[in-house]
Amino acid sequence: MFLELKNLTVRFGRQVILDRLDCCMNGCALGLLGPNGAGKSTLLRTLLGFIRPFSGTAGISGLDIIKDSSAIRSIVGYMPEHESYIHELSAVRLLRFMGELCGLSIRDAMERAHEVLFYVGLGEERYRNVETFSLGMQQKVKLAQALVHGPKLLILDEPTNALDPDGRREMISLIRDIIKNSGSHVILCSHILKDVEECCEDVLVLNKGRCIMAGNIDKLRHVDERVCHLRIKGNIDRFMAELSERGCVCSMGEKESIRVVLPSEEKTELLFELAQKNDVQLRHFYFKRDSLEDLFLNALEESERGGSSEYSSV
Whole-prediction pTM value? 0.80
Indicate where the chain has its CATH 3.30.70.100 domain(s). 223-288
Helices (H), 50-199: 69-74, 91-101, 106-119, 135-147, 165-181, 193-199
CATH number for domain 223-288, candidates 3.30.70.100, 3.90.580.10, 3.20.20.70, 2.30.30.100 = 3.30.70.100
Indicate where the chain has its CATH 3.40.50.300 domain(s). 3-219
Q: How large is the angle between the packed helices 165-181 and 135-147, nearest 10 degrees?
A: 10
- Could you give the count of Cα atoms lying within 13 Å of 26 in the half-sphere of its Cβ? 5
- H or E element at residue 244: helix 236-245
Q: What is the pLDDT along the chain (314 residues), one digit of tens a residue?
A: 789 999 999 999 999 999 999 988 888 999 999 998 899 999 999 998 899 999 999 999 889 999 999 999 899 999 988 887 888 899 999 999 999 999 999 999 999 999 999 999 999 999 999 999 999 999 999 999 999 999 999 999 999 988 999 999 999 999 999 999 988 999 999 888 999 999 999 999 999 999 999 999 988 888 777 888 899 888 888 899 999 999 999 998 877 789 899 998 888 899 999 998 888 888 888 888 788 888 888 888 888 877 544 445 44
Apex CA 64: angle with CA 309 and CA 45, to 5°? Answer: 65
Q: How large is the angle between the packed helices 91-101 and 135-147, nearest 10 degrees?
A: 30
Would you say 131 and 162 are in contact if contact means Cβ atoms under 8 Å apart?
no
**The domain at 3-219 falls in which architecture?**
3-Layer(aba) Sandwich (3.40)
Helices then strands, counting H and E runs in the chain, come out as 11, 14
Tell me the one-letter amino acid at 121.
G
